[in-house]
Structures are given as C-alpha cells and as structure tokens.
Amino acid sequence: MDGLPARWLARLGVGLLVAAGTTFAVSPVTAAAAPGKVAPAPGCTASGAPDGTMGCLRLGVSPPASVRTTAAPAAAPAGCGDGAWANMSRFAMCKATGGVYQVILAEGGTVVGEIYFNYSSMVTLSARDLRWTQSFEYSPTYAWGLLGTPTLWSVPDCMFYCTLVGGNPPTGSPLNNLSGSATFTSTRLPGQVWGARSDWGFWIVNPATLNKVTPTLWANYPGHRCDDALPGGSEGCANQDFVPTLEVPESRYPMYAFHIRHAINTTNLPSQLTRTTNSAVIDANRSTSCPTGPSYPRPAGHTCDEYPFASTTQGAVANPAGFTFNFDTKRLGRLVCQVPWLTEHRSTTNRGHSVCMIPAAQNSLGGSDLQSFFLDNRVIDRDNFNVRA
C-alpha cells in the first residue's frame, strides 16, 4: 500500500483493510500476503474516472497462482459446469465459476484491494409440476488490500414465461458465504410445449468507491422446456438437452432383456430411439412386427416382442426387414425366439427390426416399465432416449 495518496487511504480506511501479512477472522476466507502490482481484471478499468477509486465485479477469473490459498472452494454439486451450464440430469442443470471484485485507484489504475470468490447456481425441475427452483451459492476464497465497505446484493428474476413464487435472496458482506434459493412457476398452456427461463443476478455496493454500485452479473441460465403434452401425465418441465436412458435389467426380466441386448449388440440396431405418440404409427409398427392370425402363432404363455419398440419412429414400419434370433446365454442356456415366419439373423442380414416370443409376464412388465419411464422422464413426442440392456 506504500505510495497511495493519503486521502484515499483515509477514505477506504473506514472500511476493511487487509494488509500484507494480515489475517482477518472472516471464515472461510484465508488472507495471504498482498501480491505485487496487480493489473485490473479483463473488462475492469478506472480510466477516465475522476480522482478516486472504482469497484469492478467480474466472473470467470481465478486468483493468480502466486496468491492462491488453501481455502475451501464453494460447495458445488459433482458435475456442475465449470464456467458453463452443465446438463446434470433430465431435471437438473448447474453452473459454477470463479470471480473477482477489485477496488481500482483512478490515479494510475492501481488495484488496491481484491476479493476472489467461487460462485454456483443450480436449477432443479419437477417431472409432474410446472414449478422449479434456482439456487445461488457464493463463497469467498481470498482477499487483500483496501476494500472499503462492500455489500453483496442478489436477486432472482423471471426472464421468459415464468412467475417468481418466492425466495430468500441473500444480502451481506462478500467476505462471508452467502446462499439462497427461489421458486418459480410457469402458466399451463393446454396441450402445448413451451420454453421457460429464470435467472439470478448479483452485484456489489460500496460507498467508498466512485461508482458505488457495480453492474449486475447474471448466471445466464439458458432455460428449459415445459409442456402439457405427455400422454397419461400431468403438466411439468424437463431439461430437453439431457437424453434419458431406459435401463433394461436382466434380473428383472431375463429373456426380455436378452432380446433387446442381442438386438442392439449383435445386429447393431439403434440404442437411441425417438418416441412417437401417434397411435396410427404405433399400431402400424405392431401389426408389421407382430401380425396376428393362424400363420403367426404364439407359443403358450408367450407374447410377441419387437425391437425397436412400436412406440418409436424407428419401429417396424420404418425398418420393415424383420428377423428373429436363437441365441446362447450363460445364465439361461440356449434361447429360441420361436418366430417361424421370420428368418434367423445372420451376419449378412440387413438392419431392420427384431422379433422374439417372450414370456407374457416379462413382456407385460417391460411394456409397463417403458411407459413409466416415459412419464418419469417426460419423454414426449419426438424426444430421443437411450436404451441399455
């Protein structure tokens, strides 16, 4: 701090002073020795300002290696995006990044104080409700110098087709951990699909600086999809950029799982499918893959199973070259699909659709689980989903 004008030392001195080698007792920040001459962060400047200091707030900035400390970073969920929004699940998105608040002397552009921090925001949706939450988490990691009397303010806000229901936006010293959460909702549009977006902004007020208030920084949440277009389900919201996966466990329905696994792994049928809710297409897929009549017998206790599923655009109508299997398994021995009207798959068989006779209870359970998967993950018409057996 040597060489700073006495008038600015007096002005800033009424606030917080973190001098070289000084440790202040504001958990969890750890003070270190003040660095040498520090340049303003990108986008931060006091150029053209009258005599005094300016406050500047920026995201995407980390402390220089020479002044980093062992302070614990802000708690962020595993998989939270580093500087960008990450699709954590069908119903959760998260962003985490670092930032800095600088106090800059107009005379010469010298940085006289800094607070480095970690910041994250997470959005959590509901499969069966139009409400969602967005969180705000702020944690300082390092500070030094003449800071004045800064206060961090924050605000949740609606950006597109939503209403703020309530929340607890934090306000306080940027040298403390601060957190909050807000709940939003969107108005139902019967039978429609629409987008909705909330966001969370924060800024710092510092009476010791000329500009007093920094510009607001936003989490820039990109938004999500809401709909009232899920057959058999209520309205709700989902992260349309996350493709959910249908798990088909062997322990639950052995032959049903073996058929799907063999169809995907042996014949390279697609493991990513696209749902259709068009009943005419679904019926046509079923009648193509599993026709009825004397020429198409079902063994006692078995029903006809097709892959890709009839409720997808990759079903039998789109891929009419049908085939069947007889395959060996370690657990159940040799399995015979018992579909006499189709030829058994060979290495030269063109991709199309696979048909196998499955114990009725397993086939029924598999179909029920597929419908539950659609509901639980809000898989609507033309949505992609993965299959893993």
Mean model confidence pLDDT for the chain: 87
Indicate the length of the chain as a whole number.
389
Residue 32, token pair as written in the block: 């270190």
pTM of the model: 0.86
What radius of gyration, in Å, describes the C-alpha atoms of the chain?
A: 30
Is pLDDT at 10 greater than 50 in this prediction? no
CA distance 99 to 178: 14
Q: pLDDT at position 7, please?
A: 45
* Residue written as token pair 């969107």: 186
Contact 354, 345 (CB under 8 A): yes
* CA dist list (Å): 130 to 133, 184, 212, 219, 293: 10, 8, 39, 21, 46
CA 242 to chain centre: 7
CA distance 338 to 355: 9
pLDDT digits (tens, 9 = 90+) for 86-101: 999 999 999 999 999 9
CA dihedral sign, ordered 63, 65, 71, 73 = positive
Tell me which residue of 94, 113, 92, 95 sits closest to 103, measured CA to CA.
Answer: 113
Question: Residue 183 pairs with which residues in a beta bridge?
Answer: 133, 166
CA distance 65 to 347: 58
Q: pLDDT at position 362, please?
A: 98
Tell me which residue of 194, 245, 186, 189 sits closest to 379, measured CA to CA.
Answer: 245
Q: Across residues 337-357, what is the average pLDDT?
A: 85
Q: What single-letter DSSP state applies at residue 322?
A: E
pLDDT digits (tens, 9 = 90+) for 198-254: 999 999 999 999 999 999 999 999 999 999 999 999 999 999 999 999 999 999 999
